[in-house]
Structure 1
Amino acid sequence: MAAAGVLVAVALSMTGCKKLLALKKKSADAGVAAATTTATPQDDADEALQEKLDEYIKCVNTLGSPIHQSRQRYLSFVPRSGPTGRETNADLYRLPVGATAKCTAGITRAKPTPPADPKLEGAGEEYAQAAAEIDKLMAEMDTYYELRLFRNDKWAKGKAMHPQLMAAWERFSKADKDLHDTLDGITKPLSQRVLARIEREDGKKFRYGRKKVLITARELIEASDPVGEDDDVDPNLYTASYTELEKALDELIAYGTLHKPELSGTDNPAFPLAASNYDQFVREAGDFKKAAKDYWRCLQDAPAKAKTPSGKIDLDKLGNCSGAPAWKTADKVVSEYNVFIRTSNAHQFP
């Protein structure tokens, strides 16, 4: 992963992304209160679908970035071809104990629940297996490097284990992309149906505006932080995603300027904090937008050496942006997104 996998701490990267795909009606990030009209069969089907998706979503958002970050960390010390034996240090990250087992258990629980989806279920099983494999290797090698045992065996184990590590990371990267792509194919249309349901039940008011901002923020963070081996950034996609976020946030703010007193009604589930929660949501969304715009400028000013034949941008070759390393600018987008999502989860206002 391009942006999140450089130097972002695991906890920071995951906390924000935990609800990245979640659309469950009763979740903190759903922005959907109890239905005010009779649910349609499609609404009921969507709720059942989300119940199934939740476990897959938890796996992706709990394990994906830390595993990619571990690989990035390792390769900052060790050449892709393997240790030369002249390295003075090496490091990688390990996952929290039990994280992959929890993912596997969740995938197992979700598989038999309706609706049946062989593609999703197969992608989930491979994801869990690939995560468990690399988890075991990372834990073993983290101990090796943390205790600096390479000094005792003159890098013998480091050299022997390198091909296994790289193969396991490659397997996980493919599984991660496959599951992301599968979930995207399901959750993106689902999110639009949820948005349409909000509009049908409540109109284009606060609930609608909040959900629209969350959807466009998700699209933007995905454009800034591609998943898989091809983690170069598409500047055109990023620009389009940024424009959509800006438009959605402007529309929410415009509505809020005229209707903010409506948030103070005692029938609002978030009363009496709804108005201040709205202010926090808008402020953090604005901070995320600012960081995203700084990164947009960085991409626009990319030197020729950073541009791939397909027109994408290789972050590793981007150099500096306004005097700072490009990865820091990319990292800022992810960190601000995470703060925004945490705020959204904890401070509902519709």
Structure 2
Amino acid sequence: MLGLLYLAKKKMNYMQNCKAIKRKIIGVLFGVFILGLSACSNIKEHKTLFFAHSLPVTHPVHKGILEMQKLLNEKSGGKLQIKIFPDGQLGSEREMLELLQIGSVAMTKVSAASMSNFAPEYRVFGVPYLFRDSEHLFSVLEGELGKKILEGGSEFLLRGLCFYDAGSRSFYTLDGFVKTPEDLKGKKIRVMNDQMSVQMVNTLGGSATPMAYGELYTALQQRVVDGAENNVPSFVTSNHYEICKYYTIDEHSMIPDVVVVGTKFWDTLSETEKGWLQAAADESVAKEKAYWKETVKENMEVLKKANVQIHYPDKSLFSEKSKPIMEELMKDPKMNTLIQKINTY
């Protein structure tokens, strides 16, 4: 019996080692692939930026990235080009950020929540009800404070170029609305793998369940979780509305998306090339915001036709219950200063 257990354990270790080796081989081959393409780019006298993200091509943020691609091509006269890898082809948000850090990929788009795992200033965007509305949010994002946060990521080899509108996040569930925080009791709610998101749901009374976004549809089908929280376009493009028929628009957080370039790639660019890239990113923001607004309007009609029930709760019940999160964060002097600055906008 002991012999069989030993052999089983040995086989399991062997399989795990094989998987690890396979991942390393894939990483090496991908690096060689990129170097090969880069070499071809040099021969053609242009540079290609590999831009990976996890969203579907129908998403308004992807459309914003397409605008950036077009603008960069125009500004550089084709000397600097973007090749996009959507739909999580190169991995999760965390994996893509790690690829940027080692220089295997040039750019990505991630949630500010994912960035907070690398650059601590981004944690502030996860504070529930910190921003009064979208106008307040973008006055911060597009002001000096927003620029400082974007540039601060360079210390961790991840330089932010601009913020994209990602709307506000609200709860959607399988059974009944979340009209008050009490309605979250006993409910397992999927959240991003982010400390602030976990803390937010737990503080409101639910059971936060971190899970990869790509696994969520099946998890909802099998009732592994009772619901999730996200913005309207993500709720629709993920097809989660086919399963969850209750959408409570409590708008507990406004976490923007961030366009990020790895400093390892950024440092290879000339000042002129950096100017082209930054300008293309900045100018794409207005287009992305317009796409977002238009998509939300269209998606609300999709939800209506799909018989998804919408509820607008008393937000004060949620904001009051979540206050301890901000109070705890403000014990950190750096976060305290940041929050106070945001409140003055």
| TM-score, with structure 1 as normaliser | 0.22
User: Which structure's residues are more often strand, by fraction?
Assistant: 2
User: Which structure's residues are more often helix, by fraction?
Assistant: 1
